[in-house]
């Protein structure tokens, strides 16, 4: 009788051991599968990011947008440029080989930019023009788009952005989508949209933005935002590459940047612009000085080392210089 009880107990113990073994084996495999899925997703995200950066063609100095169009990697920002100063700056940029011009309704210079482009003698299709609708225009986007087309007077707009989030931004964007269908606007984008704003905005529209334009410079690097945007197949463009008014001198005279510039026999400005390009960020430095414009274009004859890239990355202060 005692032997029978012992056998029964042993049988129960064996069954329990086998049961727990099977459970942990299956559970371990499931966790391994889940972990593998996370790893695979991370790898895919990294590959997408690398693919986006790899789309920067340093021979043609352009990037292919998700809209199918090619956009130059460097251009001229025209914020605060008006009248003859703007006209002359754009003319100088075009003569220096610049083929990307950034403007906006709020800059008040679309007419001068259009005139300079028409007078340049350069075929229209070789010049890429970006303009923006301001939130005050979101209530009547059709009128705003027609106004931009009229002021620029260059046949079509290569890219139109929403200047920053605002009331009715979704409906304004959807109106821009109609103009893409008609061919009057070729690509769409956003300016001053970050992770939270993009997660909220993107599910509500039909045409994924081809570009997001944000403040980016060594003191405000957006190292969390840039990879997120790039992982969506969207090109990143940076404004205020030199830090903006009141900060430019400090940034251009930063010891680390000056040292790297001396290593390559280039200017601090050229180092900052090249750093952006190697991060996969299109640059649109603003200037009305012909020499500076030319210098800001000459950024393809040298390459920063990985160590130099990391040195500049270490300068990040998360220091935003504008309210957008």
Are 189 and 160 in contact by the 8 Å Cβ rule? The answer is: yes
Nearest to 161 by CA among 65, 93, 226: 65
Give the Cβ contact number of residue 81 at 10 Å: 23
DSSP E strands, the chain: 56-57, 62-64, 70-72, 76-77, 100-102, 128-133, 157-162, 185-191, 211-215, 235-239, 281-283
Are 240 and 215 in contact by the 8 Å Cβ rule? The answer is: yes
Structure tokens at 299: 């950024």
Phi, psi torsion values for 289, nearest 5 degrees: -90, 115
What residues contact residue 111 under an 8 Å CB cut-off, 6+ apart? Answer: 151, 152, 153
∠ at Cα 245 (241, 251), nearest 5°? 55
Cα 92 to its chain centre, rounded Å, is: 26
How are beta strands 76-77 and 100-102 bridged, if at all? Answer: parallel
Whole-number Å distance between alpha carbons of 150 and 270: 35
* 107 belongs to the catalytic site: yes
Structure tokens at 314: 């270490």
Q: 3-class DSSP state for residue 48?
A: helix
Q: What is the DSSP letter of 208?
A: P
Please pick, among 107, 173, 179, 220, the residue that the annotation labels catalytic. 107
Nearest to 101 by CA among 176, 21, 91: 91
Catalytic residue ranges: 107
């Amino acid at each position: 009788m005692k032997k029978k009880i012992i056998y029964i107990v042993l049988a129960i113990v064996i069954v329990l051991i086998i049961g727990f073994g099977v459970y942990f084996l299956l559970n371990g495999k499931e966790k391994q599968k889940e972990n593998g899925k996370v790893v695979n997703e991370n790898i895919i995200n990294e590959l997408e990011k690398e693919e986006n950066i790899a789309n920067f063609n340093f021979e043609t100095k352009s990037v292919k947008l998700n809209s199918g169009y090619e956009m130059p990697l460097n251009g001229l920002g025209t914020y605060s440029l008006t009248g003859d100063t703007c006209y002359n700056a754009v003319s100088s940029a075009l003569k220096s080989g610049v083929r990307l011009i950034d403007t906006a309704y709020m800059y008040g210079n679309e007419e001068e930019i259009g005139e300079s482009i028409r007078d340049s003698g350069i075929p229209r299709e070789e010049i890429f023009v970006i303009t923006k609708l301001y939130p005050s225009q979101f209530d009547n986007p059709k009128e705003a788009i027609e106004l931009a087309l009229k002021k620029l007077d260059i046949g079509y707009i290569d890219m139109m952005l929403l200047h920053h989030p605002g009331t009715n931004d979704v409906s304004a964007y959807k109106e821009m989508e109609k103009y893409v269908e008609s061919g009057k606007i070729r690509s769409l984008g956003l300016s001053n949209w970050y992770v939270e704003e993009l997660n909220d905005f993107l599910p509500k529209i039909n045409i994924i933005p081809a570009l997001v334009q944000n403040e980016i410079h060594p003191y405000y690097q957006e190292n969390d935002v840039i990879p997120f945007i790039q992982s969506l197949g969207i090109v990143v463009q940076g404004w205020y590459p030199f830090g903006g008014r009141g900060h430019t001198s400090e940034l251009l005279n930063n010891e680390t940047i000056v040292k790297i510039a001396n290593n390559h026999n280039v200017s601090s400005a050229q180092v900052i612009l090249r750093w952006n390009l190697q991060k996969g960020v299109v640059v649109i430095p603003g200037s009305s000085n012909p020499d500076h414009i030319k210098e800001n274009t000459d950024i393809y004859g040298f390459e920063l080392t990985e160590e130099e890239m990391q040195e500049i990355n270490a300068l990040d202060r998360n220091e935003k210089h504008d309210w957008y």
